[in-house]
Structure 1
Amino acid sequence: MKQLKLYNTQQNHFEVERKFKFDGSKVILLEKNNGKKLFDNVTFISEKSFTDVYYDNHSENYPLTTNDIWLRNRDNKWECKTPVNLTASMDSYHELDDTNVIKEFLDKKLDVNKRRSENIHYNNEEFKDFLFKKYNLTPICTITTQRRNYLLNNKFTMVLDTADFGHSVGEIELIVESQNKVQDAEKRIAFFMKEHDWFFETDGIVMGKLLAYISRFNKKQWECMNNSNMLKKKLFPETLDNVVTK
């Protein structure tokens, strides 16, 4: 049970993560810890399926996703990932999972001039209606993911995802308790991935599930994100070599 808590990000925690491509034929080598460079420890945690519904404002050119803000409902739980932007090579987020905190954040971010949202706890459907009425936020996509969770070297959380539209991507993550630990986590991840580059493929463009979905199915949103310059960091992050030599 202690290991499973690694996947629960509380509001005072920060996620530091790097996506990678992976060869499905090498997963068995990973799980048997029989690759070119051995891990200290490989622990398979679980395999699960979940469905994400992401939200934004279509008519206002997607003010959330163009600013690297990801509001979603995952299996009836609301989450909002907000960027920390303390690294040039990896994504770093502060995750909000309380609806009142999410409302307060959206009021400020979307510059809502109306009366501030009251601290009312909504159920799933009520909050969805609230998002539409208050901010004009509606679903932009629905993605079902098959995920395999691992713990590597008793430190690094790793997930291997396959989305229902055929896109696969992996992610290495560390969770830290304060912003001043984000850059150290970035360097630790970079060293780790370079050490085991037989499995972690980071050359070329590595696209997460949502970006891959938008690039294929929503040309308007893709253009808006490109115009915001947010895509440049996502698609062309600082190399791992640069991180480890800082």
Structure 2
Amino acid sequence: MAEGLIEVERKFAPGPDTEEKLRELGATLEHRVTFRDTYYDTSELSLMLADHWLRQREGSGWELKCPGVTGVSGPHNAYVEVTSESAIVAQLFELLGSGEQEAAGVAAVLGPLKLQEVASFVTTRSSWKLASSGTHEQEPPLTVDLDSADFGYAVGEVEVLVREKAEVPAALEKIISLSSMLGVPAQEKAPAKLMVYLERFRPRDHQRLLEA
């Protein structure tokens, strides 16, 4: 994806009829894929505690999610997704402040920055696309991902990618509207797969994140 796009997302608990509802709303199934995500952080969880999330996705490479837009409350998240390895490395050195920045890929700086694997799991995802009902042809479509992780957790996500902070409130309106049509309770905010993984397999780390 293009660098610096803002991902506005809302997670929800999918029901047995969610896919049927998506079809009724005119959504099309883009693909079904299976992939492994591996997350990295320091032993002190320096990145996660600063709301930064470093992930290597099988077949897709590295991604660093950074905090996006503040000041818009609700059961959603907004992150800037950084996928350029050089930009990720620069951000990691800025966050972790460890000596001279190395001109290298992400894998090469894991050791110097004391980054280690904190979670790894396989997800089966069905991705649905729903064209925006707005009047502007350029309006971004809504994406609905339905995920099932290999540790027994399922979660859905409604997502819109926008270029400017000013577009976030309108994107959020669309997400709330679609969530309502899918029968998602207004204030429901399902936890991300990573948080559930940590809760089950690294409860002390999960508690530290909750306290922060």
**Cα separation, 2, equivalents of 1:223 and 1:32:** 39
Name which of 6, 14, 18 aligns with 2:10: 18
**Cα separation, 1, equivalents of 2:185 and 2:156:** 9
Report the AA paired with residue 166 of structure 1.
G
1:17-61 Cα shifts (integer Å, max 9, x gaps): 00011112x04522541xxxxx2x211110000100000011xx2
1:73-107 Cα shifts (integer Å, max 9, x gaps): 10150111111142322111111111110011111
Aligned residue number for residue 162 of structure 2: 176
Identity of aligned residues (%): 26
Question: Could you say which structure has the higher helix fraction?
Answer: 1
RMSD between aligned alpha carbons? 1.8
Q: Does the 8 Å CA contact 1:45/1:151 hold for their aligned counterparts?
A: yes
Aligned residue number for residue 105 of structure 1: 91
SS at match of 2:3: coil
1:143 aligns with 2:121: yes
Report the AA paired with residue 154 of structure 2.
S
**Cα separation, 2, equivalents of 1:221 and 1:157:** 31
Aligned residue number for residue 69 of structure 1: 52
Q: Does the 8 Å CA contact 1:12/1:177 hold for their aligned counterparts?
A: yes
1:79 aligns with 2:58: no
> Which runs of structure 2 are paired with 1:52-67 in the superposition (5 Å)?
52-58=37-43, 61-67=44-50
**Cα separation, 2, equivalents of 1:28 and 1:81:** 28
**Cα separation, 1, equivalents of 2:195 and 2:47:** 13
Worse-matched range after superposition: 203-212 or 90-99: 203-212
Question: Could you say which structure has the higher strand fraction?
Answer: 2
**Cα separation, 2, equivalents of 1:31 and 1:184:** 21
Name which of 23, 29, 49 aligns with 2:20: 29
**Cα separation, 2, equivalents of 1:157 and 1:197:** 13
Give unpaired runs (5+ residues) of structure 2: 133-140
Report the AA paired with residue 11 of structure 1.
E
**Cα separation, 1, equivalents of 2:128 and 2:199:** 28
Aligned residue number for residue 137 of structure 2: none
SS at match of 1:51: strand
Give unpaired runs (5+ residues) of structure 1: 1-8, 34-38, 229-246
What is the aligned length?
Answer: 201
